Amino acid sequence: AREMKCTNWEHPDLYGHYREVQFVMTKHHWFWKLQHIFTGVQATQNHNGLILLLEEDHYVAPDFYVMLKKMYEEKKTKVTECNILTLGTYDKNRVYRDRADKADVTDWHSSKHNMGMALDKKTWLSLQECKEQFCSYDDYNWDWTLQHLSKSCLKPPLRALVLRSPRVFHIGECGIHHNGKCNADDLVRKIDENLKTNQRYLYPSNLVVTPQTRPLRIKPPKPNGGWGDLRDRTLCATYGRDVSGSPDKEES
């Protein structure tokens, strides 16, 4: 890199690799959109309630919004320690009978609870206290970076309220971490068939929350690298603030 006179030759990641745009852009986009929603958009600047994060390859059940409101009410009144609400799951065995009205309290885990995530302004403000670490941690994955912050910076660590029967589904099987064939239509058809079969269990009248019985044993994450370039770290640190250091304001 030095011989080629690359701009960033002095700043490889932990493993000696250099910046790859297709990887770093995901962490940038995740952090930027949160900062922009809470500080940059006039319509949401004063919104203190939930923000639900849905990606372009997410698919939702008919009652997802109803369940989200029920979860938030439980979070505000009974399980106030939860700062993340999760509507999705990567479990391929999706069961609704005897489970569609239930949610579990658990430690937030990046690879389990990052789909259909919702958080409110209070949680976002707590993340701001760890902004420097988020932007400097050498991992191009936003969720693994968040896992690191949960263990090293956030006090208390992240806790999640997770639906046992998912209302958000991932249909993008050829995303950044996937290879091979991808047919979203087939996945949507299977999801619709499953939802139709279990239609009677959707829209439950109440949400039953199961308290956490034991904490998840989560090893401190090992950074995946890919985030060693100072340009990425510097850009990340600017999100949510204008040149004067005050919260962004949308131009009129």
Binding-site members for Mn(2+) are: 57, 170
- Encode the chain (252 residues) as per-residue pLDDT tens digits: 666 767 777 788 999 899 999 999 999 999 999 999 999 899 998 999 999 999 999 999 999 999 999 999 999 999 999 999 999 999 888 999 999 999 999 999 999 999 999 999 999 999 999 999 999 999 999 999 999 999 999 999 999 999 999 999 999 865 555 555 667 888 899 999 999 999 999 999 999 999 876 766 777 778 999 999 999 999 999 997 643 334 444 433
234's CB contacts (< 8 A; 6+ apart) are none
The answer to whether 182 touches 174, Cβ cutoff 8 Å, is yes
Binding-site members for substrate are: 94
Binding-site members are: 57, 94, 170
d(CA 79, CA 51): 18
Helix axes 21-35, 142-152, angle to 10 degrees: 60
Which ranges of 79-154 would DSSP assign to H, the alpha helix? 121-128, 131-136, 142-152
Amino acid (one-letter) located at 107? D
**Which pLDDT score, from 0 to 100, does residue 248 have?**
44
d(CA 152, CA 136): 13
- Residue corresponding to tokens 């600047």: 45
DSSP state at residue 156: S
Closest CA to 149 of 119, 122, 129: 129
pTM of the model: 0.87
DSSP state at residue 191: H
The answer to whether 155 touches 112, Cβ cutoff 8 Å, is no
Phi–psi pair at 70, nearest 5 degrees: -65, -40
Kindly state the tokens that stand for 12.
């490889």
- Structural domains in the chain plus CATH codes: 48-225 (3.90.550)
